[in-house]
Structure 1
Amino acid sequence: MSGFRRPSWWALLLTVAGALLFVRLGFWQLHRADFKEALLRRYAAAATAPVQDFPPASGSSMPAADRFARVRVHGRYLADRIYLLDNPKHDGLGGVEVFVPLALHGDSRLLLVDLGFLPGNGNGKTPQLPPLPAGEVTLQGLYVPPPPSGFEMGGNALARQAGWPKTTIFLDTSEVARDLGQPLYPHLLALDADPASIYVRVHTLDFSSMPPARHRAYAFQWFTFALAAVVILLVVHRKRKPRKPDSTRVDDVR
């Protein structure tokens, strides 16, 4: 290290602290990428998993938050309590994702059912909803997390609507539960695809805003910052060669 000056303690401390922070953030991004990839693999594997009854039998535990159970459920639609998620990104014409609560026998909690995507016709109007069965139904699908929610201008859109169906740009299950006046299961039932149904049922985990590849790109960025912090410290404290005196002398002009 003869080519470098000894750094001050605060410069060394600041560099080490910053580099460690950047490295930790980089590894956190890598862990998030691995976690999401594992979720995607579990979600794909759930399509061929054996079907189990829902809710689980007495004494059995509910599926974990990171597990996607393939379930069969019996209940009755609350057909007059339909929720529309406005304009999901399924096609260029727009449309709505349709959700309906399902009442289960002997259960105070409601299960929110994702019927699927109903394509629009390009005129901006809500598509015509087909009627729902009035009696008991048997449904099958995946028990999955609700779609991601976000900030909605004006607050809770459901509370401002008196008629049904109610439309929202974010489906917050806690707001839906308050709107219904009954508790909901934390996840919802995404129905299996049905060629005879008018609904488009292509269910995926929504990581479009932050897929695993983007987490890895951010990890590379944080590791680069850590390396840059060390390089800056070395450059700032590099010894400079002393200037050689000018060997030429300019005679005074006489």
Structure 2
Amino acid sequence: MLRTLRQPRWIWLTLAVVAVSLLFARLGLWQWHRAQAKWASNDAVTTRAHATPVPAQSLLSTDRKPGKRDEWRQVSLTGTYDVAHTVLLRNSVEDGDRGYEVVVPLRPASGPALLVDRGFILANGTALALPAVPPPPSGEVTVVGRVRPPDKGSLQLSEETSTPTVKRLVPREIAQSQGVGPVYDAYVERSSETPTASGTPRELDLPSADVGLNLAYFVQWYAFILVAVGGWWALLRRDVRDAEAAAHAPDVAPGSEAPEHAAVDGDHGTVDVRRGG
């Protein structure tokens, strides 16, 4: 086997298999690290979303977006819902259903308003017709919600329906277009309301990055290593067997014949000619 491996073509083939295996191992580790990063992100979101709420004014501002560490944290604010300035986020999908998210400003006794995404409502039929919008609780209400930064991009406001719709949630642009007044440069996804109202929109799910594809790629790259090494070993065994078979074959020159041996039958005086070998 060592004699076979010392052949130039086997040296190059072995080096190629080693290089490819190292590349595949690196790609597999990359996918594993991506999966670990997603697991860590999911854990961080869950931890923040279930932490004890803090007052909204202690975390949010009218002139700056919330920091990365503040996203998904829970805040609380007491005020009254400004139902007249309700807007709907269109083209929303929740658990495979298509519909809208209901966004209503919450006005405290003093200070800026806070846009509250109260949750998801199904579209009215397959044509995404505007559904009836369930009203929020009347009077003073305490809202607990998860902090979300403004969406990137333009608002794309549409006022063709009874309730205005937007493509993205940009609190300050919504406030300006609807005449809401000063608002926090963030919005919250409702976790709870006190008191509650009948027909409350469906609470939005927490995001969860899917690691399944990364794990599948991780397994795939290491399976490729096994295929490469297995193929290399199979070829090596075949060459070794061929070399051993050639070494043990009779050493007969091409075109030559085996010597003849003559045997004389003493009783009948005949000669028996047999080929040797």
Cα distance in 1 for partners of 2:104, 2:123 equals 19
* Higher Cα Rg, which structure: 2
**Residue 86 of structure 1 corresponds to which residue in structure 2?**
91
**Residue 122 of structure 2 corresponds to which residue in structure 1?**
119
Query: What is the Cα deviation at residue 205 of structure 1?
Result: 0.9
**Residue 220 of structure 2 corresponds to which residue in structure 1?**
221
| One-letter identity of the residue aligned with 1:96 | Y
**Residue 103 of structure 2 corresponds to which residue in structure 1?**
99
Flag structure 1 segments of 5+ consecutive residues without an equivalent. Answer: 150-155, 250-254
Query: What is the Cα deviation at residue 204 of structure 1?
Result: 1.8
Trace 1:42-61 onto structure 2 (pairs within 5 A): 42-46=44-48, 48-56=50-58
Contact 1:52-1:72 within 8 A present in 2 as well? yes
Q: CA offsets per residue over residues 149-206 of structure 1, 9 Å max, x none?
A: 9xxxxxx8953745452254xx4x57x7667669974x64111145634211142214
Contact 1:7-1:237 within 8 A present in 2 as well? no
Query: Matched residue of 1:114: which SS?
Result: strand
**Residue 141 of structure 1 corresponds to which residue in structure 2?**
145
Query: Matched residue of 2:225: which SS?
Result: helix
**Residue 192 of structure 1 corresponds to which residue in structure 2?**
191
**Residue 159 of structure 1 corresponds to which residue in structure 2?**
156
| One-letter identity of the residue aligned with 1:27 | L
**Residue 262 of structure 2 corresponds to which residue in structure 1?**
none
TM-score (normalised: structure 1): 0.62
Query: Matched residue of 1:196: which SS?
Result: coil
Contact 2:145-2:191 within 8 A present in 1 as well? yes
Query: Matched residue of 1:192: which SS?
Result: strand
Cα distance in 2 for partners of 1:235, 1:178 equals 67
Query: What is the Cα deviation at residue 85 of structure 1?
Result: 3.2
Trace 1:68-83 onto structure 2 (pairs within 5 A): 68-73=72-77, 79-80=84-85, 82-83=87-88
**Residue 274 of structure 2 corresponds to which residue in structure 1?**
none
Contact 1:77-1:132 within 8 A present in 2 as well? no
Contact 1:82-1:101 within 8 A present in 2 as well? no
Please say if 1:128 is aligned against 2:128.
no
Contact 1:6-1:237 within 8 A present in 2 as well? no
**Residue 24 of structure 2 corresponds to which residue in structure 1?**
22
Structure (1 or 2) with the greater strand fraction: 2
Tell me: higher relative CO, structure 1 or 2? Use CA pairs within 8 A at least 6 residues apart.
Answer: 1
1:205 counterpart (204, 207, 221): 207
Cα distance in 1 for partners of 2:27, 2:198 equals 46
Cα distance in 2 for partners of 1:7, 1:179 equals 70
Flag structure 2 segments of 5+ consecutive residues without an equivalent. Answer: 178-182, 256-277
Q: How many residues matched? A: 229
Cα distance in 1 for partners of 2:228, 2:184 equals 49
Pairwise CA RMSD: 4.7
Query: Matched residue of 2:58: which SS?
Result: coil
Contact 1:63-1:69 within 8 A present in 2 as well? no
Identity %: 28
Query: What is the Cα deviation at residue 224 of structure 1?
Result: 1.9
Cα distance in 2 for partners of 1:206, 1:30 equals 17
